[in-house]
Amino acid sequence: MEKIPFNKPHLTGKETHYIYDAVNAGKISGNGKYTKLCQDYLKERYSFRKCLLTTSCTDALEMAALLIDIKPGDEVIMPSYTFVSTANAFVLRGAKIIFADSREDHPGIDEDSIEALITSKTKAIVPVHYAGVACDMDKIMALADKYDLFVIEDAAQAIESFYTGKDGIKRALGSIGHLAAFSFHETKNIISGEGGMLAINDPQFMAKAEIIWEKGTNRSAFFRGEVDKYGWVAVGSSFLPSEIIAAFLWAQLENLDDIQTKRLQHWNKYHEGLKEWAMENDIRLPGIPDFATNNAHMFYLVCKDLEQRNVVIDNLKSNGILAVFHYLSLHKSPFYLDQHDGRNLVNADRYTDCVVRLPFFYELEKDAINFIKNELYEAVKNI
Amino acid sequence: MEKIPFNKPHLTGKETHYIYDAVNAGKISGNGKYTKLCQDYLKERYSFRKCLLTTSCTDALEMAALLIDIKPGDEVIMPSYTFVSTANAFVLRGAKIIFADSREDHPGIDEDSIEALITSKTKAIVPVHYAGVACDMDKIMALADKYDLFVIEDAAQAIESFYTGKDGIKRALGSIGHLAAFSFHETKNIISGEGGMLAINDPQFMAKAEIIWEKGTNRSAFFRGEVDKYGWVAVGSSFLPSEIIAAFLWAQLENLDDIQTKRLQHWNKYHEGLKEWAMENDIRLPGIPDFATNNAHMFYLVCKDLEQRNVVIDNLKSNGILAVFHYLSLHKSPFYLDQHDGRNLVNADRYTDCVVRLPFFYELEKDAINFIKNELYEAVKNI
């Protein structure tokens, strides 16, 4: 058996064809034909008001922090169990991060713990849809309404995932908060190497987002003929990706349904093969709440403790299978430990110690999943 | 005669080959093989201490602002006649921009005007090497020494351009200041669509730059085995480009000498064909001071006034030739007008009104340059 990597970027076949096309059209800087194709497609498919491609999900989060005008002293509530970029984007603007714990039954933010963290300084809540599984957005949006806060969905892993609220309407993740950030990093379902997207749902941000994206200039309005010259009108950055990246992404988006079908097959195969074994060994498999759908972004186990996880990772590794842990609680990071208010976040710490992600990518064969499953059986038997 | 665009991205031939290679190697996110190839090549060729690819020159400038720890109230001196990103990068960190005028004989910063602008709040000088032509770096570095300031070279246009100081040593632009930012935007000599690079010359920034680049984590040190785990250790962002972009860039760098030879031919052809005509019509051609070299980044005219420039641009346009103006003085921009201290910057305003850039790209044919030259003759004759 060959080695099984944790991730393998999937090529749909037309990526380089579209890159050639972009180059031959003489336009490889940002905001060209492929950027527009991707943006229009994503906007329509997921009912965003507007969306803008970015060079990373990190950059999309930074745009969000600029849009809601985060200032030094503002507080932003987010889970501790998340990627550093969720926090960095707001720290860069001077915010204090108030870390919330994860749910007992899921690594996502514990929605019921949020209200107690809100103060007069709170400006935003940033729910992270861990593994592409929705947070309970009704609860979060109700808090935002009650306390006049912004909600920025960290939807890095959440493409093609949905939430059905109490009104019975099924909405795409990223279309519910005021703003949302997606990732097209090579480890995601739909990829462009590095890459991301900002989704804009609150209309007050539509014009401003475009300006920030274009280096603080009103260049987009100029090209639409809305202003007669363009200049420096606000602070901004260069958030837009090259057309090379957008062309690559377009080839992926054209195959979104195929990619999702295949990934769901892998996910179900894992789940089917592991559910009894997991119960017998005090290991938890990912659960999908009734209000959420499954986008098959990843397949992870929550081991019963750190020791069990170490055995699993080491045993798989010695059999050529790369399974990996995930985030380290940010409230205990070298950078933020002193700034955290000392609250214990037991679930975040448990996921830090106990989550292990299994190999997951389009080309993963049925045989490979069986092999991984059997090696998991063996690993845990030996504890 | 076909239409002549202002710019046309040049493909060296192996761009998509290397992109394929990166994808097949299973690594298209940042900091892979091609990123290292590009960084090592550029570091060696130009004697930087270290360099890091970025998603844009804007991002490299933002990294520089983070590295020198710009805080609200700090002052940064730069020319008014520059791209918005030069200023945005520091405004994002809270700096006040003190705009300097351009030289009478060149759009670059008037080095002799800088000292009068230095206050106790000044933290950095950002010279912009306009058209790839060196500022007088001896003067600027002497001020930095005298007042303990950082120098960040905006070398967006300045690849393969050099400066020879009083010590007689010829140094690459970008290797002289504490930090420097380069662009690989499609309009530059060496391109990757959108793209850039931070050059680090002051050793105090080497470790910190890598951390900021990798989202505030010590991931790079971890992979070198210098620390036993990696985590969030500082504020940072995702500045690194996809390997798709780095692979594209590598195909360009392999052909740097060929690209430069061709561009210099075009530049000399323009200069030869226009120098007498320019003198007769009160038009200035780009000059290269003795301390500088010419990297043939662009060919521009400085018309005698706005009216003459409008005639030139309009006449060329009606003959299918796209010639374009350049920056608008930032001290008069809608965003900064109220924050500027009211000093008149006459040269910056003159370049705003009078610069016109002629079509300039690798595939520009000798016939096309002759055609443009003749249309210029005609245009000015009609005034």
Active site residue A188: yes
Same domain? A195 vs A292: no
- CA B150 – CA B208 distance, rounded (Å): 16
Q: How does the average pLDDT of chain A come out, rounded?
A: 96
What is the arithmetic mean of pLDDT over B167-179? 98
Query: Does residue A3 belong to any structural domain of this protein?
Result: no
B174: closest CA among B127, B220, B210? B127
Query: Does residue B352 belong to any structural domain of this protein?
Result: yes
- CA A174 – CA A182 distance, rounded (Å): 8
CATH of the domain at A305: 3.90.1150.10
A31 close to B (CB below 8 A): no
Query: Does residue B5 belong to any structural domain of this protein?
Result: no
Nearest beta carbon to residue A244 from set B57, B238, B245: B245
Nearest beta carbon to residue B240 from set A87, A194, A237: A194
Would you mind telling me the total number of residues written for chain B in this entry? Answer: 383
Query: Does residue A30 belong to any structural domain of this protein?
Result: yes
Same domain? B106 vs B208: yes
Query: Does residue A176 belong to any structural domain of this protein?
Result: yes
Same domain? B29 vs B173: yes
Cβ-defined contact of A215 to B333 (cutoff 8 Å): no
Query: Does residue B116 belong to any structural domain of this protein?
Result: yes
Confidence of residue B211 (pLDDT cuts 50, 70, 90): very high
Burial A82-103 (b: 16+ CB within 10 A, else e): bbbbbbbbbbbbebbbbbbbbb
Same domain? A247 vs A190: yes
Nearest beta carbon to residue B233 from set A23, A248, A334: A334
pLDDT of residue A135: 98
pLDDT of residue B57: 98
Confidence of residue A1 (pLDDT cuts 50, 70, 90): low
Same domain? B349 vs B290: yes
Query: Does residue B9 belong to any structural domain of this protein?
Result: no
B261 close to A (CB below 8 A): no
pLDDT at A321 over 70: yes
pLDDT at A7 over 70: yes
Burial class (CB in 10 A: 0-12, 13-18, 19+), A181: buried
pLDDT at B1 over 70: no
Last residue within a domain, chosen from A212, A235, A253: A253
Nearest beta carbon to residue A58 from set B92, B195, B238: B238
pLDDT of residue A75: 98
Distances (CA, A) of A296 to A158, A161, B19: 9, 9, 27
Residues of A (317-336) whose Cβ lies below 8 Å from B: 328, 330, 333-336
Last residue within a domain, chosen from A237, A253, A269: A253
What is the arithmetic mean of pLDDT over A113-134? 98
A8 close to B (CB below 8 A): yes
Residues in A touching B19 (Cβ below 8 Å):
16, 19, 244
Structure confidence by residue, pLDDT tens digits, B307-331: 999 999 999 999 999 999 999 999 9
Same domain? B106 vs B244: yes
pLDDT at B71 over 60: yes
Distances (CA, A) of B315 to A128, A223, B266, B325, B379: 56, 22, 22, 14, 6
Same domain? B229 vs B271: no
Q: How many angstroms away from the CA of A85 is the closest CA of chain B? A: 6
Confidence of residue B205 (pLDDT cuts 50, 70, 90): very high
Answer yes or no: are the C-beta atoms of B253 and B246 closer than 8 Å.
no
Same domain? A83 vs A204: yes
Cβ-defined contact of B88 to A58 (cutoff 8 Å): no
DSSP result, B175-243: SSSSEEEEE--TTSSS--SS-EEEEE-SGGGHHHHHHHHBTTB-HHHHHTTSSSS--B-S---B-PPPH
Last residue within a domain, chosen from B190, B224, B253: B253
Q: Which residues neighbour A226 within 8 Å (Cβ) at sequence distance 6 or greater?
A: none
B25 close to A (CB below 8 A): no
Q: Which residues neighbour A165 within 8 Å (Cβ) at sequence distance 6 or greater?
A: A137, A138, A171, A291
Confidence of residue B369 (pLDDT cuts 50, 70, 90): very high
Helices (H), A242-361: 243-253, 256-280, 306-318, 346-354
Q: How does the average pLDDT of chain B come out, rounded?
A: 96
Q: Which amino acid is at A3?
A: K
Percent of chain B with pLDDT over 70: 99
Same domain? B50 vs B198: yes
Same domain? B234 vs B271: no
Query: Does residue A233 belong to any structural domain of this protein?
Result: yes
Distances (CA, A) of A163 to A133, A146, A151: 9, 21, 15
User: What residues make up the domain containing B282?
Assistant: 256-381
Q: Is B225 left (phi over 0), alpha (psi -120 to 50) or beta?
A: left
CATH of the domain at B226: 3.40.640.10
Residues in A touching B185 (Cβ below 8 Å):
29
Instruction: Pull the structure tokens for residue B378.
Output: 């005609």
Chain A / chain B CB contacts < 8 angstroms: 184
ipTM summary value = 0.96
Same domain? B227 vs B351: no
Same domain? A291 vs A242: no
Domain count, chain A: 2
Residues in A touching B216 (Cβ below 8 Å):
84, 88, 335
DSSP result, B263-317: HHHHHHHHHHHHHHHHHHTT-BPP---TTB-------EEE-SSHHHHHHHHHHHH
